[in-house]
Structure 1
């Protein structure tokens, strides 16, 4: 089986975007949730945005609407 994590090599924003979508649909593992929550200030700094949560940092850095998580959840159901 191929190493699927290799797809993130050199692409930290892709990893965050995947985490964002997985979090929105309730499929993000707890370890990643906790890690991203702890690293939220550093994630926001790296993405050059001002945000209180890592999810909001992703939204701002990608110009996503604030209600993107709600929309993703609604489409999942």
Structure 2
């Protein structure tokens, strides 16, 4: 994962961002592979079964429709950014979603 002060002491924060990136089909392959490798550790840590996405979703009580809702929200936010002459990167979107909905 990334060495960024944003995530210091907040390991779930980056995992949530990765979940958002995965849901909008923008998760880099290198991180996707790392998360697959981490799955057994995540299963043990969160006492849960399933793939890493399932574990993260379950940890914060996301429902099964969340990936589709995130895709719709991503498309809408990209369109809004373009209308305002701005660019929105997938990482910016992921951080925005996590900060607005999951950061406490």
Q: Taking structure 2 as the reference length, what is the TM-score of the superposition? A: 0.63
Give structure 1 stretches of 5+ with no counterpart. none
Q: Count residues in correspondence.
A: 73
Give structure 2 stretches of 5+ with no counterpart. 76-104
* Runs of 4+, deviation exceeding 4 Å: none
1:12 maps to 11
2:73 maps to 75
Tell me which of the two structures has the higher relative contact order, counting C-alpha pairs closer than 8 angstroms and 6 or more residues apart: 2
What is the RMSD of the two structures over their aligned residues, measured on CA atoms? Answer: 1.5
Question: Which of these two proteins has the greater Rg computed from alpha carbons?
Answer: 2
Q: Taking structure 1 as the reference length, what is the TM-score of the superposition? A: 0.82
